[in-house]
């Protein structure tokens, strides 16, 4: 059977060779995946146990999420001063990846453009291609703090673009966005009638007292913005598959049109556990961030000690590290594998990820320390 053009247009998986190398060593420290190692907090698991016993949760859920779940989301956003109408400005998702991948199906026609950051979370690109759209890659460069320069987007492209994806705090660069940039992105999308799809998956994973900004905190954002959010990273719930989107009621309605035709919502018991998660005391998230913060310090200081160039991130559980002179990101990844440390080569997130590798802080601090010691034993002269 011939696969569809769409599927054949998806980027190939680049790392078969690295996967092979990984299998050779038994003691590999995997700092490649972005999946929290810490279990879901106890009170959330307990809420799930109770909810799963209740037969009323065994039936089809509502497409858009229960009003109780959406109300809990609105309360969660109210902490940051954002007022949301649970009826029309919030939708539950089967993980935010699901919503991100489905949004282009609601708004993109054959040949329309979608503006996609490079490097970036691969789903923006894949979701665009699956909707017969054309990804228009905008580079995130170090010299610009890994923010795109929106003035570089040709006006013919902007006119034919339906969606722009942005993601701050950012995966994989761990960069954050400040007021001025966020306002300019909203203005750009209003001027060009583009949906601004902001991926806020790491909105709560912040350090040193830094607070990440929701795009919905800004004036006029509700005209063009849909913000994707998730319980995955905030509450160590990646396996549970629950996220949500908030923002413009019109865009939420568009996404719901796709979803009612392809899925039947989030398991009601998981939504109940999600309500418990969202209503957690602020100390729950603070404790999770503290753990990453300690690991970050050990990793960043260790990498600097061996002469590597890294910024100390204010947010996310990633450290985006420049590869030393004379290596590509794949070559440097293989070099690190010689001492059993696995990272993700930057080029896996797009061409402009070349020159960097991504370390995930998803191993305990002793293991991070051991990774640093192993890297210290390498001769990094190419």
Per CB under 6 A, does 363 bind ligand PLP? Answer: no
74/316 with CB nearer ligand PLP: 316
122-130 and 96-107 are packed helices; what angle lies between their axes, rounded to 10 degrees?
40
Least Cα distance to 247 among 192, 194, 191, 198 occurs for 198
Output 167 or 268, the one with its CB closest to ligand PLP.
167
Determine if 272 is a binding residue for ligand PLP (CB under 6 A).
Answer: no
Per CB under 6 A, 358 contacts ligand PLP: no
- 232 in contact with ligand PLP (CB under 6 A): yes
The binding track of 195-224 with respect to ligand PLP, each residue x by CB under 6 A or -, is: ----x-x-----------------------
- Residue from 36, 61, 97, 335 touching ligand PLP (CB under 6 A): that is 97
CB of 160 to ligand PLP, least distance (A): 25
The residue (of 133 and 203) whose beta carbon lies closer to ligand PLP is 203
The Cα 307–Cα 271 span in angstroms is 46
The single residue among 77, 107, 113, 121 that binds ligand PLP, judged by CB under 6 A, is 121
| DSSP structure class, residue 209 | T
Distance CA 269, CA 329 (A): 43
Which of these segments, 42-50, 95-103, 146-154, 182-190, binds ligand PLP (CB under 6 A)? 95-103
Q: Which is nearer to ligand PLP, 233 or 335 (CB)?
A: 233
- Check: CB of residue 336 under 8 Å from CB of residue 31: no
**Distance between CA atoms of 206 and 192, rounded to whole angstroms?**
32
Among 171, 173, 236, 362, binds ligand PLP (CB under 6 A): 171
Rounded least distance, CB 169 to ligand PLP, Å: 9
Cα 48 to its chain centre, rounded Å, is: 25
Nearest in space to 15 (alpha carbons), one of 30, 36, 35: 30
Residue 163: strand pairing partners: 114, 195
Check residue 34 for interaction with ligand PLP (CB under 6 A).
Answer: yes
CB-CB neighbours of 21 under 10 Å: 17
**96 near ligand PLP (CB under 6 A):** yes
Residues across the chain: 382
Q: Applying CB under 6 A, which part among 47-55, 94-102, 354-362, 365-373 lies near ligand PLP?
A: 94-102
238, 249, 280, 367: which one binds ligand PLP (CB under 6 A): 238
Is residue 291 a contact partner of residue 38, using CB atoms and an 8 Å limit? yes
10 Å CB burial of residue 377 (0-12, 13-18, 19+) is exposed
**Nearest alpha carbon to residue 225 among 246, 253, 242:** 246
Q: Which is nearer to ligand PLP, 66 or 96 (CB)?
A: 96
* Contact status: 40 vs ligand PLP (CB under 6 A): no
* Kind of pairing between the strands at 225-230 and 161-167: unpaired
- The yes or no reply on residue 243 touching ligand PLP (CB under 6 A) is yes
Residue 28: count other Cβ atoms within 10 Å of its Cβ. Answer: 16
Short-list 14, 94, 82, 18, CA closest to 262: 94
Closest residue to ligand PLP, Cβ-based?
95
Which residues lie near ligand PLP (CB under 6 A)? 34, 95-97, 121, 167, 171, 199, 201, 230, 232-233, 238, 243
């Amino acid at each position: 059977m011939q696969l569809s053009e769409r599927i054949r247009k998806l980027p190939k998986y680049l790392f078969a060779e690295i996967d092979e190398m990984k299998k050779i060593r038994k003691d590999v420290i995997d700092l490649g995946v972005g999946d929290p190692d810490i279990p879901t907090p106890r009170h959330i698991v307990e809420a799930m146990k109770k909810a799963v016993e209740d037969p009323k949760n065994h039936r089809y859920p509502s497409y858009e999420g229960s009003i109780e779940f959406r109300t809990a989301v609105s309360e969660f956003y109210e902490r940051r001063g954002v007022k949301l109408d649970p009826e029309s400005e919030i939708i539950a998702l089967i993980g935010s990846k699901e919503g991100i991948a489905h949004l282009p199906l609601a708004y993109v026609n054959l040949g329309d453009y979608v503006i996609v950051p490079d490097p970036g979370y691969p789903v923006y690109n894949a979701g665009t291609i699956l909707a017969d759209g054309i990804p228009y890659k905008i580079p995130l460069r170090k010299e610009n703090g890994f923010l795109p320069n929106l003035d570089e987007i040709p006006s013919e492209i902007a006119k034919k673009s339906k969606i722009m994806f942005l993601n701050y705090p950012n995966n994989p660069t761990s960069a954050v966005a400040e007021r001025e940039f966020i306002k300019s992105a909203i203005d750009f999308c209003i001027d060009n009638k583009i949906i601004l799809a902001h991926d806020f998956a790491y909105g709560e994973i912040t350090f040193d007292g830094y607070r990440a900004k929701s795009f919905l905190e800004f004036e006029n954002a509700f005209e063009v913005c849909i913000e994707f959010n998730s319980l995955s990273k905030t509450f160590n719930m990646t396996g549970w598959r629950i996220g949500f989107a908030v923002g413009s009621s019109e865009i939420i309605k568009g996404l719901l049109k796709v979803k009612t035709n392809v899925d039947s919502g989030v398991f009601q018991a998981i939504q109940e556990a999600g309500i418990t998660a969202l209503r957690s005391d602020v100390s729950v998230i603070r404790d999770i961030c503290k753990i990453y913060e300690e690991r970050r310090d050990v990793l960043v200081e260790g990498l600097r000690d061996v002469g590597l160039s890294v910024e100390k991130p204010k947010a996310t559980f990633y450290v985006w590290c420049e590869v030393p002179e004379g290596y590509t990101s794949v070559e440097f990844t293989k070099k690190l594998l010689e001492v059993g440390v696995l990272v993700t080569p930057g080029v896996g997130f797009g061409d402009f990820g070349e020159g960097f590798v991504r370390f995930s802080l998803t191993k305990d601090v002793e293991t991070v320390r051991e990774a640093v010691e192993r890297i210290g034993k390498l001769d990094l002269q190419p």
